[in-house]
Amino acid sequence: MLAKSLVPLALLMFPRPPGESPNSCLSFYGSSPTGKWSFYGTDDLDCVAAAASYGDSGALADAAHPPDTRLVWLESDVTAVDDSLRAAEAEVDVLSHLLASIKSSSSMALDGQQRILDGSEPREPVEAMYRDHSGSALLLRVDAALAPTLDTHLPRLWRSMLVPSSPAPFVPVPDAAIERVRTILKHVKFDPTVASLVNNISVPLLRADARWLTGEDSRSPIVSRHSFSSDTPKAAAWLVERFEETGATCRLAPFLTGFAPNVICAYPATTNTTETVLLSAHYDSRGSFGSTRAPGGDDDGSGTTALLGIARAIQRRGVRFAKNVQLCAFAGEEQGLLGSRAYARELREAGANLTLMVQADMLAYHKAGEPPQLGLPDLIGTPEVTQLVANLSAIYSPELNVGFTPACCSDHQSFHEQGFPSTQVFERAGPIADPMYHNSGDLTDREGYDFEQLKSIAKVQFATLLHSAGYEVPADEA
Ligand SMILES: *[C@@H]1O[C@H](CO)[C@@H](O)[C@H](O)[C@H]1NC(C)=O
Ligand SMILES: *[C@@H]1O[C@H](CO)[C@@H](O)[C@H](O)[C@H]1NC(C)=O
Ligand SMILES: *[C@@H]1O[C@H](CO)[C@@H](O)[C@H](O)[C@H]1NC(C)=O
Ligand SMILES: *[C@@H]1O[C@H](CO)[C@@H](O)[C@H](O)[C@H]1NC(C)=O
Ligand SMILES: [Zn+2]
């Protein structure tokens, strides 16, 4: 019968986006960081046998692993990036690359914490349990101490994810929730007060906030926002102060030992409702291969900065919302959406009433000569929420060229899997082209980093919030 224990007997991987299990004997464990693979667990051998007939070339792994190890999924991100980035990346055998990197850093320093790998370990720190036929996805068993920072040993077009250790049933978005978004969409029309409010987002303040997060501002104590860096909790504390200055109430929400916490901020509703509109970004980042220096100016300092820009405008103009509003900055995104998965699950278990959520991840970069853009997800998300964002963009940020992007999967995926209406905003109507993607050179002061585009996309996020949460402003601010 269905897995009661936390570790299933078998883990099955299918190349398909998150969705309901192909058979009720399989429990959904989550989907991969590209949204292309889904994981299921079962303790039932008949169920495993039946899975062989599902058609799409799934794979099976023995999920048993020593308690001091973790299962980690690796996947190439290559289809989500522009040719210019792909060309710069040498063909590598990811596993030998990984092992060489781990061994060469025989004493790897992470903020003074020394981890010594002296070669006397009884087993390899990393062992492949499954590799797909194209070589673009692998399941590994990894020493538990190493697993959370495995991303620092990966070529940058590879992403890693800690495989969830317990099932989280896939919940489709209920029809009533989609209907609610359709109703908002139906009533969208130009509102001069909304236009005035969204235009209040200040580019100089966006720049100042982003430069603080990257450490480009020499007064900032932040050098890295890797989830495991000791600077990242400093960034979290700073975010709490900034958001609270704007009238929000914030809490630091730890989700996994060793990781910086989520930052969850809320503005109360002026009406008696449980409905909540949520905007988010991830404030953790990832640096170059072999480095934990992760300034993350674009990924995802830009999305985090957009939230701050919106919060500052809320405060300056005295905006109050009819519904509850949350602004969330997640951590652990780069290790497999860990912070948002924990939070989305918590909201689902609490019976939260999310009207919609919009994740902002990488908003500021476009190639030289390209117009400002807004990319929307073609794979993961709720089409009605995506349509709402597109229509509000046409109204309030007509300077943006709107289109779809294959750059998939940020924290909205966690909400999508829990049945909350969700979408994502991204910097290009096409694949990732930022040459500093997953690079320690991801600063704001460089060609292609466009604060005007960042403001334009933040305006769309803010307009989505105002139109879906309802608002009031003091008479002289209208
Ligand atoms: C949203 O925009 C599309 C494309 O411009 C348009 O066809 C549609 O009527 C708009 N929907 C609403 C409800 O305004
Ligand atoms: C935002 O609104 C405030 C208060 O009305 C005003 O003082 C400020 O100049 C505005 N800023 C921008 C960038 O529009
Ligand atoms: C708010 O609404 C709930 C459910 O409709 C109701 O039980 C409660 O009394 C209301 N509270 C206030 C303060 O009106
Ligand atoms: C969610 O909000 C709607 C609208 O206020 C309300 O009708 C519904 O009962 C709420 N659902 C929950 C689970 O609170
Ligand atoms: Zn990101």
* Segments forming the whole domain that contains residue 153: 4-162
Mutate to test the pocket of ligand 1, among 189, 391, 396 (most ligand atoms within 8 A of CB): 391
Q: Is the pLDDT of residue 174 over 60?
A: yes
Instruction: Give the ligand 2 atom nearest the CA of 477.
Output: 5
Shared domain check, 185 and 242: yes
Shared domain check, 158 and 199: no
Instruction: Give the ligand 1 atom nearest the CA of 189.
Output: 14
Residue 299, classified by CB atoms within 10 Å of its CB into exposed (0-12), middle (13-18) or buried (19+), is: buried
Shared domain check, 186 and 157: no
> Which CATH number is 225's domain given?
3.40.630.10
Residue 65 lies in a domain: yes
- Greater confidence (17 vs 270) lies with 270
**What's the pLDDT score for residue 223?**
94
**What's the pLDDT score for residue 441?**
94
- Greater confidence (395 vs 12) lies with 395
- Greater confidence (92 vs 139) lies with 139
- Over residues 432-449, mean pLDDT: 95
Residue 439, classified by CB atoms within 10 Å of its CB into exposed (0-12), middle (13-18) or buried (19+), is: buried
How far apart are the C-alpha atoms of 246 and 315, rounded to whole Å? 5
Q: Answer yes or no: is the C-beta of 351 below 6 A from any ligand 4 atom.
A: yes
Which of helix, strand or coil describes residue 215?
Answer: coil
**What's the pLDDT score for residue 474?**
94
- Greater confidence (419 vs 2) lies with 419
Q: Is the pLDDT of residue 167 over 90?
A: no
Residue type, 37: W
Q: Is the pLDDT of residue 17 over 80?
A: yes
Shared domain check, 180 and 158: no
Instruction: Give the ligand 1 atom nearest the CA of 186.
Output: 13
Residue 170 lies in a domain: no
Shared domain check, 125 and 146: yes
Shared domain check, 447 and 358: yes
Shared domain check, 128 and 227: no
Q: Give 275 Cα–ligand 4 centroid separation in angstroms.
A: 6
pLDDT in tens, 364-377: 999 999 999 999 99
Residue 231 lies in a domain: yes
**What's the pLDDT score for residue 327?**
98
Cβ atoms of 80 and 34 closer than 8 Å? yes
Q: Answer yes or no: is the C-beta of 202 below 6 A from any ligand 2 atom.
A: yes
How far apart are the C-alpha atoms of 355 and 422, rounded to whole Å? 9
Residue 432 lies in a domain: yes
- Greater confidence (39 vs 55) lies with 39
Of the candidates 329, 384, 385, 339, the residue with the CA atom closest to the CA atom of residue 360: 329
Q: Is the pLDDT of residue 56 over 90?
A: no
Q: What is the CA radius of gyration of the chain?
A: 22
DSSP 92-114: --HHHHHHHHHHH-SEEEETTEE
Instruction: Give the ligand 4 atom nearest the CA of 274.
Output: 14
Cβ neighbours around 239 below 10 Å, total: 24
Q: Is the pLDDT of residue 330 over 90?
A: yes
pTM of the model: 0.92
Residue 97 lies in a domain: yes
Q: Is the pLDDT of residue 319 over 80?
A: yes
Shared domain check, 243 and 145: no
Residue 123 lies in a domain: yes
Shared domain check, 436 and 316: yes
- Over residues 440-455, mean pLDDT: 97
Q: Is the pLDDT of residue 25 over 80?
A: yes
Q: Is the pLDDT of residue 409 over 90?
A: no
Shared domain check, 200 and 120: no
Last residue of a domain, one of 139, 162, 185: 162
Q: Give 316 Cα–ligand 2 centroid separation in angstroms.
A: 7
**What's the pLDDT score for residue 108?**
44
Q: Whose CA is nearest to atom 5 of ligand 2?
A: 317
Shared domain check, 409 and 456: yes
Q: Give 190 Cα–ligand 2 centroid separation in angstroms.
A: 20
Identify the residue whose tokens are 């919106």: 310
Between 87-101, 199-213, 325-339, 426-440, the lowest mean confidence (pLDDT) is in 87-101
Shared domain check, 209 and 327: yes
Residue 363 lies in a domain: yes
Between 44-58, 78-92, 275-289, the lowest mean confidence (pLDDT) is in 44-58
| Structural domain total, the chain | 2
pLDDT in tens, 129-140: 888 888 889 999
Last residue of a domain, one of 101, 132, 162: 162
- Over residues 153-161, mean pLDDT: 89
Last residue of a domain, one of 162, 196, 216: 162
Residue 168 lies in a domain: no
